[in-house]
Structure 1
Amino acid sequence: MTEHISYTTEELAQILKVSKLTVYDLIKKGELPSYRVGRQMRVDARDLEAYIEAAKTVKKIKTVGPSVTTAAAPTSQPTRQGVPSTARQLIISGQDISLDILANHLEKQSGSFRPLRSYVGSLNSLIAMYLGEADIVSTHLFDGDTGEYNVPYVKRILVGHSYTVVNLLSRWAGFYVKQGNPKNIQTWSDLTKANARIVNREKGSGVRILLDEKLRIEGISPDRIKGYDMEETNHVGVATRIANDHADVGIGIEKTAQMVGIDFIPMIEERYDLVILKTAENQPFIRALLEVIRSDAFQQEINALGGYNLSQTGKIIYET
């Protein structure tokens, strides 16, 4: 069998000597065909080679043309929905479908921004923001010591930065169980039942942190939970494992349980917030973001999905 070689966005950025933002833009514009493996976007080696050869061809035809590094440099040509490629590219990091809707509304509202999506968990998204690799970060991180969502983590990670935390929505998190809840899972301590197999989320996700914080508060060792090391990278993956009888319980949001057709035991209403760095460059974008999420059009589209509480949407939760 021929060895199949593919690259992650991080590897592509290193190979092409460009930022990950540029790689995301090449993928979005279709210049680099991609596919998803779990939460990672990948590009086949042959498609990368084809892109480089195409860039070389353009250079030969024009005599003096773009190098591989600048082949994706913006031009004044219009792109999807009339947004010019000179628009500022914004990476929106997180996994909830509401972020895809937010990206669409931001792109439609103005020709100044081109949103790009990164499907990374809450904690890793905040770290990416600290490293300058994300513009809008979504978080649902529970702090067991304060009982508060998000702000304690933002304060610890974005040290030395000025930022705004604004609410996007609230949603219920709880247990995914088979229809009828045959294992009678009702509490966090029920996860230790000998006949119950859990499917977990990956490290750095908001759900994984919620579970670990609840176990810490309850004094429960993860070693007592069967399946603790079995991981999925999204809510659908967890719910599907339970629906297919590969596990008895998982943790996720109510909406996904309804989609997959399993039962849901609500445990906590989590606040799903957006974090944006407060810089001079970001001020126009912050105003546009707040205008979008406070608009009737955006909120009506989110409400139509069901399973979300928008009573605080657009409220500034914390800012420095």
Structure 2
Amino acid sequence: MSKELSYTIEEVAQLLKVSKLTIYDLVKKGELPVFRVGRQMRMDAKDLDKYIKNHKTTTSQVPIAELHRPQTKNSPNLVISGQDIVLDILGKYIEKYSTYKTLRSYTGSLNSLISMYNGECDIVSLHLFDGDTGEYNLPYIKKILVGHSYLLLNLLSRKAGFYVQKGNPLNIQTWTDLNQEHVKMINREKGSGARILLDEQLRMNHLQPKNIRGYEQEETSHLSVASSVSTGGADVGVGIEKAAKIVGIDFIPLITERYDLIILKTPENEKLISTVKEILSSHPFQSEINSLGDYDYSQTGSIIYET
């Protein structure tokens, strides 16, 4: 048998610089073929090369900085920024019910909001906790989108908390438990919603990041953090419940976060806003969210704030 080079899902995610959830979604859709060795999925290098060649002109699945959208008034391209799989579902519905071609950027909440201010994306998903008000998203939006009119819509609510190893052997329950010498954490990248939640909680609990073991070690997705805890690379990480269930570790819920969408209110975006509002309020879209589990869609589509 000839030896063919193959990759694990994690290696493919690292090569394409996207989250493993993105790769799993592409596999599920049949866009990336895989084979199994025991319980592990692998991908032939030639199949990955073929996928890359076939998508060189579409510019999808790349970071914001690499998205070269035509900057024309009637451009059909639409950039949706954020990491949750629900955003991929939203993109599918937008393409079905409009003429837009949706492009995905898997960038953290704060960095995405700044990109919107710079005109680099059209729909941004946010889960930014403000410790002073106890509120999500709006305090950050008001400071960053100065001079802009915008619409803030609820996408869903979800639990955020700690990823811990099976059985939680170190009995990690609260934010102050991170401040123990024998506890090693894995962090998220700067600008992500999970990183901001952690930093705000450390500030509120008068804890110094320099005293948190592993604080400087970063991963770029919920799934990567959960995987690090699963393999013993860390004892604890911060993220959402969904990734813990995918990886098969325990989850300690600490807060219910509001996951919102923001769109700038411009004449060019009138049709987009109307389309997104209809999709979020539709039964098929909400049913698809419900089928994923671990999401609260009771407020999906509701207007949180607008200027």
Q: Same fold (TM over 0.5)?
A: yes
1:31 maps to 2:56:
yes
Q: CA offsets per residue over residues 39-67 of structure 1, 9 Å max, x none?
A: 68989xxxxxxxxxxxxxxxxxxxxxxxx
Report the equivalent of 1:133. 120
1:104 maps to 2:129:
no
Aligned partner of 2:226 among 214, 230, 239: 239
Instruction: Give aligned-pair identity as a percent.
Output: 58
Equivalent pair of 1:36/1:42 in contact (CA under 8 Å)? no
Distance in 1, matches of 2:75 and 2:153, equals: 24
Distance in 2, matches of 1:31 and 1:303, equals: 34
Query: Alpha carbons of 1:187 and 1:136: their partners in 2 closer, same or farther (altered >3 Å)?
Result: same
Distance in 2, matches of 1:168 and 1:284, equals: 18
SS for the counterpart of 1:216 is helix
Scaled by the length of structure 2, the TM-score of the pair is 0.78
Distance in 2, matches of 1:7 and 1:257, equals: 23
Scaled by the length of structure 1, the TM-score of the pair is 0.75
Distance in 1, matches of 2:136 and 2:105, equals: 22
Report the equivalent of 2:80. 92
Which 5+ residue runs of structure 2 have no aligned equivalent? 1-14, 18-51
Equivalent pair of 1:87/1:114 in contact (CA under 8 Å)? no
Equivalent pair of 1:198/1:247 in contact (CA under 8 Å)? yes
Distance in 2, matches of 1:7 and 1:34, equals: 12
Paired residues for 1:3-18 under 5 Å: none
1:279 maps to 2:266:
yes
Aligned-residue offset at 1:129? 0.4
Aligned-residue offset at 1:88? 1.7
1:160 maps to 2:147:
yes
Aligned-residue offset at 1:183? 0.7
Query: Alpha carbons of 1:116 and 1:7: their partners in 2 closer, same or farther (altered >3 Å)?
Result: closer
1:185 maps to 2:210:
no
1:318 maps to 2:272:
no
Matching residue's letter, 1:156 = K
Matching residue's letter, 1:319 = E
Query: Alpha carbons of 1:87 and 1:301: their partners in 2 closer, same or farther (altered >3 Å)?
Result: farther
Distance in 2, matches of 1:101 and 1:28, equals: 24
Aligned-residue offset at 1:193? 1.3
Matching residue's letter, 2:89 = I
Matching residue's letter, 1:30 = H
Matching residue's letter, 2:120 = E
Query: Alpha carbons of 1:221 and 1:115: their partners in 2 closer, same or farther (altered >3 Å)?
Result: same
Query: Which protein has the larger Cα radius of gyration, Structure 1 or Structure 2?
Result: 1
Matching residue's letter, 2:139 = P
Q: CA offsets per residue over residues 141-175 of structure 1, 9 Å max, x none?
A: 00000000000000000000000000000000000
Matching residue's letter, 1:108 = K
Matching residue's letter, 2:306 = E
Distance in 1, matches of 2:246 and 2:287, equals: 20
Equivalent pair of 2:185/2:235 in contact (CA under 8 Å)? yes
Superposition CA RMSD, Å? 2.8
Query: Alpha carbons of 1:140 and 1:7: their partners in 2 closer, same or farther (altered >3 Å)?
Result: closer
Q: Which runs of 4+ in 1 moved over 3 A?
A: 31-37, 39-43
Query: Alpha carbons of 1:73 and 1:142: their partners in 2 closer, same or farther (altered >3 Å)?
Result: closer
Count of residues in correspondence between the two structures: 258
Aligned-residue offset at 1:31? 3.4
Aligned partner of 1:151 among 114, 138, 152: 138
Report the equivalent of 1:171. 158
Q: CA offsets per residue over residues 157-215 of structure 1, 9 Å max, x none?
A: 00000000000000000000000000110000000111110000000000000000000
Paired residues for 1:275-314 under 5 Å: 275-314=262-301
Matching residue's letter, 2:142 = K
Distance in 2, matches of 1:280 and 1:273, equals: 22
